[in-house]
């Protein structure tokens, strides 16, 4: 149909646990889209993925209808798992540093490729390395 | 806070530790092609937002700030802004954007609004959701108006790219004998099916995932089965499907097409003529156009 894109919003939220409260409500409410419809759809499609952050990319059209697709877990999540670094907690002062191999980065890059702004694995690797660097995870 | 795209994942990761409900990321986009809803991400800071439990005192704020500054970001960390979030029923918040819509005899009503139907009003019950066609878009309204003008009771209708099903519901209310509605998006067909059920017109509207040509979802040929084809789709899709649409029409059958803007209008008219149809009217709302064409009677 004649969809004109009004906005794109990505929500990094826990699988199966979306609800109309923030950040879902604050991000989608101002665009006037049917939040319960998104919440139901998201929870249904992420059922059984408990404990993971599964991003949803929501495309909002000019007539306030929308579609959304699920994305691969954030690169940070995948890197931390690969490095064996536990999830940080708000009380920690510093992110725990860790190490990943170039091969692991390549694997993550390949996994994330459909979601990245490129179809070139080498470009994707650079982007994942960038995230690793920001997080204090070293590529060896 | 605003964060450059390359740093979004790392920052969102830290925010996620403080806000277990998650993070929203709003990138800056630019529409490249209005007609075919193609857009690109600009290399500009995205807005990251998350919600932490109150009170988020100075110590917590310092802790968050420390964690963020410990990241090796590509650019200096932007300002962290805090705002109180009022408690509101977000699940109902969006409803204030939708009200009763009148187009000719047709009245589109969301479930939470009362409508005083005048004699002759044809009411469609429709809640906006995850499928295009809420009545909020110019092209939907143009198609509704064209259906109101051109649809005669007893016609057989084909709705190409039905989305929410709104145009099929309108056709049902306007007295169509049968309506076949297709969409390549299975999710949309699900939404449309629910809307058809809510309006109690299951006996008139048949829905399926598919398209014209090889993806025709029903047994038997589509040729010469429709008195009116309505297609609110992009100009590219409309042009690609026009020969098949024309084949579906009976002699004197009508094609109502919308979903394209003024700059694509000439191309669509040329495709309409090439498909053996004769343009008979054009309507406009802002940049958007709706073209009505007729198949020759032989």
- The Cα–Cα gap between B110 and B124 comes to 9
Those of residues 161-180 in B touching chain A at CB distance below 8 A are 161, 163-164
Which residue's entry shows tokens 């259906």?
Answer: B147
Can you list the alpha helix ranges (DSSP code H) found in B128-259? 138-150, 166-173, 186-198, 235-248
- Chain B CB contacts of A26 under 8 Å are 24, 49, 51, 85, 90
- The number of C-beta contacts closer than 8 angstroms across A and B is 220
- Chain A CB contacts of B259 under 8 Å are 1-2
Going from the C-alpha of A70 to that of each of A67, A91, B22, B90, B123, the distances in angstroms are 10, 30, 15, 22, 36
Inform me whether the C-beta atom of residue B19 falls under 8 Å from chain A C-beta atoms.
yes
Q: Where are the domains of chain B?
A: 2-87, 93-295
Are A65 and B94 in contact by the 8 Å Cβ rule? The answer is: no
Look at the alpha carbons of B66, B71, B74, B78 in this order and tell me if their dihedral is positive or negative: negative
| pLDDT in the model for residue A1 | 43
| CB pair distance less than 8 Å for A8 and B10 | no
| pLDDT in the model for residue B97 | 81
Point out the residue among B16, B135, B233 whose CB comes nearest to the CB of A2: B233
Look at the alpha carbons of B246, B252, B258, B263 in this order and tell me if their dihedral is positive or negative: positive
Point out the residue among A17, A62, A91 whose CB comes nearest to the CB of B137: A62
| CB pair distance less than 8 Å for B74 and A27 | no
Torsions phi, psi for B170 (to 5 deg):
-60, -45
Inform me whether the C-beta atom of residue A28 falls under 8 Å from chain B C-beta atoms.
yes
The yes or no reply on domain B93-295 and CATH 1.10.760.10 is no
Query: Residue B105, by phi and psi: left (phi above 0), alpha (psi -120 to 50) or beta?
Result: alpha
Residue A118 has pLDDT above 80, yes or no: no
pLDDT per residue of chain B (298 residues) written in tens, 0 to 9: 999 888 888 888 888 888 888 899 998 888 776 656 677 888 888 999 988 887 888 888 888 888 888 887 888 888 888 888 877 777 777 788 888 899 999 999 988 888 888 889 999 999 877 777 888 888 899 999 999 999 999 999 999 999 999 999 999 999 999 999 999 988 889 989 999 999 999 999 999 999 999 999 999 999 999 999 999 988 888 999 999 999 999 999 999 999 888 888 999 999 999 999 999 999 999 888 999 999 987 6
pLDDT confidence bin for A95, thresholds 50/70/90: low
B118: which DSSP letter? Answer: P
Residue A105 has pLDDT above 80, yes or no: yes
Q: Which residue of B has its CA nearest to A21?
A: B90
| pLDDT in the model for residue B158 | 98
Those of residues 103-132 in B touching chain A at CB distance below 8 A are 127-132
Q: Which residue of A has its CA nearest to B39?
A: A5
- Chain A CB contacts of B234 under 8 Å are 1-3
| pLDDT in the model for residue A92 | 55
- The Cα–Cα gap between B10 and B77 comes to 12
Residue A91 has pLDDT above 60, yes or no: no
State in Å, rounded, how far the first CA of chain B is from the last one: 65
- Chain A CB contacts of B34 under 8 Å are 4
| pLDDT in the model for residue A94 | 57
Q: How far is B73 from chain A (nearest CA, A)?
A: 5
| pLDDT in the model for residue B293 | 97
Point out the residue among A77, A90, A135 whose CB comes nearest to the CB of B63: A90
Inform me whether the C-beta atom of residue A107 falls under 8 Å from chain B C-beta atoms.
no
Query: Residue A93, by phi and psi: left (phi above 0), alpha (psi -120 to 50) or beta?
Result: alpha
Inform me whether the C-beta atom of residue A101 falls under 8 Å from chain B C-beta atoms.
no
Q: How far is A131 from chain B (nearest CA, A)?
A: 6
Element at B60 (helix H, strand E): helix B58-69
Residue A53 has pLDDT above 50, yes or no: yes
Torsions phi, psi for B255 (to 5 deg):
-115, 125
Point out the residue among B7, B22, B232 whose CB comes nearest to the CB of A2: B232
Whether the link from the prior residue into B87 is cis, omega within 30° of 0, is no
| pLDDT in the model for residue B36 | 61
Residue A52 has pLDDT above 90, yes or no: no
Are A100 and A139 in contact by the 8 Å Cβ rule? The answer is: yes
What is the rounded average pLDDT for all residues in chain A? 84
Inform me whether the C-beta atom of residue B150 falls under 8 Å from chain A C-beta atoms.
no
Q: How far is B55 from chain A (nearest CA, A)?
A: 15
Those of residues 188-227 in B touching chain A at CB distance below 8 A are none
Point out the residue among A1, A38, A134 whose CB comes nearest to the CB of B73: A134
- What mean pLDDT is predicted for residues A2-9? 78
Look at the alpha carbons of A62, A68, A69, A75 in this order and tell me if their dihedral is positive or negative: positive
């Amino acid at each position: 149909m004649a969809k004109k894109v009004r906005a794109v919003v990505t929500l990094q939220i826990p699988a199966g646990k979306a609800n109309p409260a923030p950040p879902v409500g604050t991000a989608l409410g101002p665009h006037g889209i049917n939040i319960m419809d998104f919440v139901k759809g998201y929870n249904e499609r992420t059922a059984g993925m408990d404990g993971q952050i599964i991003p949803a990319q929501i495309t909002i059209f000019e007539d306030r209808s929308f579609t959304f697709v699920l994305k691969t877990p954030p690169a940070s999540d995948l890197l931390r798992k690969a490095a064996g670094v536990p999830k940080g907690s708000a009380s920690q002062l510093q992110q725990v540093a860790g190490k990943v191999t170039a091969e692991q980065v390549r694997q993550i890059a390949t996994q994330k490729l459909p979601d990245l702004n490129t179809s070139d694995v080498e470009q994707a690797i650079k982007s994942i390395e960038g995230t690793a660097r920001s997080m204090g995870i070293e590529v060896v | 806070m605003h964060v450059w795209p390359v740093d979004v994942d790392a920052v969102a990761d830290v925010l996620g530790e403080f806000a277990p409900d998650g993070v929203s990321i709003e990138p800056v986009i630019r529409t490249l092609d209005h007609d075919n809803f193609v857009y690109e991400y600009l290399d500009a800071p995205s807005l990251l937002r998350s919600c932490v439990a109150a009170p988020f005192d100075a110590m917590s704020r310092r802790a968050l700030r420390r964690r963020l500054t410990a990241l090796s970001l590509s650019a200096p960390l932007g300002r962290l802004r805090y705002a109180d979030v009022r408690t509101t029923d977000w699940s109902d918040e969006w409803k204030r954007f939708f009200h009763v819509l009148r187009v000719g005899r047709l009245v589109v009503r969301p479930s939470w609004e009362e409508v005083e139907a005048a004699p002759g009003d044809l009411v469609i019950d429709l809640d906006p959701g995850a499928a295009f066609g809420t009545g909020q878009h110019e092209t939907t309204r143009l198609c509704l108006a064209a259906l109101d003008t051109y649809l005669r009771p007893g016609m057989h209708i084909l709705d190409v790219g039905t989305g929410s099903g709104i145009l099929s519901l309108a056709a049902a209310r306007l007295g169509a004998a049968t309506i076949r509605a297709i969409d390549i998006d299975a999710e949309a067909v699900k939404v449309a099916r629910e809307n058809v059920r809510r309006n109690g017109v299951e006996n008139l509207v048949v829905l399926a995932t598919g398209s014209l040509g090889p993806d025709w979802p029903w047994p038997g040929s589509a040729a010469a089965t429709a008195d009116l084809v309505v297609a609110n789709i992009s100009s590219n899709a409309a042009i690609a499907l026009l020969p098949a649409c024309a084949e579906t029409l009976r002699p004197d059958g009508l094609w109502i097409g919308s979903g394209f803007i003024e700059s694509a209008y000439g191309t669509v008219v040329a495709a309409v003529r090439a498909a053996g149809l004769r343009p008979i009217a054009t309507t406009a709302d802002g940049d958007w156009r709706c073209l009505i064409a007729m198949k020759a009677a032989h």
